Chains A and B, each alone.
Chain A
């Protein structure tokens, strides 16, 4: 399987930290202390300011836009109107990923190196990934990323272990895919990869040094190196998002661009 670069979207000035897609395939990017919304052709449809720099963004099925920030999550409607703010510096140190369960919201907190589960009203339920000898995920890169599959299983990047780990919403470790390898592209290289993860019809990850995006099946078999030369060599923490139809978006954090890839064959 091969992927090809089909689009590059710019227009950012300082940073792009989080990506998400909605059911219609619109792309949401958190960066420059703004949320920017693009259509599939890369046209900017709308944008609005966030109170603090956004580190992550996620969109519910009903179109609400959650933005993870330092100490809080801002919740907007699809047009950018602020609906609510969950402010909790103890529980939301720096929110670098957000996901949704049927009955709750998950937030990755890099300050605690764990994922926190809340109900839909923001009441804390439980931690995920904290109950181990190192008291959390090993994230030397300073970003904790996860995504949910169609069954509600949490796929979390644990770069210090060179794995993507699977958790149940109540925090049980179900297993993992991936292992270290500095030569075989099926493995994860360096000190700490993969840095970011997305789930769609496949598992998608990004790595740093050498920067690349890859696709795996749910059993951990490498399906494709989506790209390994398209990014600036100095990037890291490249957010990745899977869109309906198999398109994959990846952030180049140095060029400040969102690259779109599609299956070529």
Chain B
């Protein structure tokens, strides 16, 4: 180690950086690296932050028209509730049927579908599926914020849709994201 000079160290550092950069470019050229929202970092879905307004930077900052980010309902975690706080504005006035009178999504991108036959005597006696229309969703995160624990079950998360994402080197959303939730991952590790 005593023969190691500062010049050697500098050269090594430069070569390592060039190697890393080259690896990134190769992966990028091969489409092997993609952007992804880390749900454990995203303000809208991370646990422990309740009661705040949804962050909508994924909508406003993305260079793609209508954003490349979408809300996605992971059905395996969804409670299929009669009254879903991500679908209804649960603080709106209750209508004559006992449901909130307003929907939450400003783009009406969530559809509520009964699973099986609805009990006409008691519609609460049923499960409901919540389907997000990705042609309408712009990733604003409002439903994600209302779905997260403990208000909901956290089944709705934000995902970068890779058929829409143009895979910028410097993702405009990631540059603004206050929680550094936009991450580049190898394709094999990415979701959605």
Contact = CB atoms under 8 A, between A and B. Distances in A.
Contacts of B116: 133
A162 B126 contact: no
A30 to B, nearest CB: 21
Contact of B81 (A160, A182, A235, A236): A160
A208 interface: yes
Given A140-B81, A209-B151, A182 B126 contact: no
B149 A180 contact: no
B151 A190 contact: yes
Residue with the highest number of chain B CB atoms closer than 10 Å, among A132, A140, A189 = A140
Contacts of A180: 83, 94, 98-100
Contact of B100 (A133, A161, A182, A211): A182
Q: Is the interface of A mostly helix, strand, loop or mixed?
A: loop
Interface residues of B, number: 31
Interface in A178-230: 179-183, 187, 189-192, 208-209, 211
B94 to A, nearest CB: 6
A134 interface: yes
Nearest to B91: A182
A140 B79 contact: yes
A15 to B, nearest CB: 15
A138 B91 CA distance: 22
Given A134-B125, A182-B100, A234 B149 contact: yes
A191 B94 CA distance: 14
A138 B82 contact: yes
Contact of B85 (A134, A160, A190, A234): A190
A236 B150 contact: yes
Given A132-B125, A236-B150, A161 B48 contact: no
A134 B126 contact: yes
Given A160-B81, A191-B84, A236 B149 contact: yes
Nearest to A209: B151
Interface in B86-137: 90-94, 98-100, 116-117, 119, 124-127
Contacts of A162: 82-83, 124
A233 interface: yes
Contact of A209 (B81, B83, B91, B150): B150
Interface string B68-85: 000000000001111111
A160 B79 contact: yes
Residue with the highest number of chain A CB atoms closer than 10 Å, among B99, B150, B152 = B150
Contacts of B100: 180, 182
Contacts of A133: 116-117, 119, 125-126
Given A133-B119, A190-B85, A191-B151, A234 B124 contact: no
A180 B97 CA distance: 10
B125 A191 contact: no
Contacts of B165: none
B15 to A, nearest CB: 48
Interface of B: 47-48, 50-51, 79-85, 90-94, 98-100, 116-117, 119, 124-127, 149-153
Given A134-B127, A138-B127, A234-B47, 19 more contacts: A132-B125, A134-B125, A138-B82, A138-B124, A140-B153, A163-B124, A180-B99, A181-B94, A190-B85, A190-B151, A190-B152, A191-B79, A191-B84, A191-B152, A192-B79, A208-B151, A209-B50, A209-B151, A234-B48
28 contacts: A132-B125, A134-B126, A138-B82, A140-B80, A160-B124, A162-B124, A163-B124, A180-B94, A180-B98, A180-B99, A182-B90, A182-B91, A182-B92, A182-B94, A183-B93, A190-B83, A190-B85, A190-B90, A191-B79, A191-B84, A191-B152, A192-B81, A209-B50, A209-B151, A233-B50, A234-B47, A234-B149, A235-B150
Closest 9 CB pairs of A and B: A140-B79, A209-B151, A182-B90, A236-B150, A191-B81, A182-B91, A161-B124, A209-B150, A208-B150
